[in-house]
Amino acid sequence: MSTGHHRHHLLRLVLSCRKITAQVTNPRSESIVAMASSSEQEFVPQYRSKLHRFPRSHNFWDAKIASRVGEKLGFRLKEIGVCDIQIDLHEELSRPIHHRKMIIPLFDSIKRAGIVVAGAEKLESLNWGQIDRGE
Alpha helical stretches, state H, 32-112: 44-51, 63-80, 89-93, 97-112
- How many angstroms separate the Cα of 87 from the Cα of each of 4, 47, 97? 20, 27, 16
Q: How many helices (H) and strands (E) does the chain have?
A: 5, 5
Cβ atoms within 10 Å of 72's Cβ, excluding its own:
22
What pTM does this model have?
A: 0.80
Residue 35: its pLDDT value, please? 97
Q: What is the pLDDT of residues 65-118, one digit of tens each?
A: 999 999 999 999 999 999 999 999 999 999 888 888 889 999 999 999 999 999
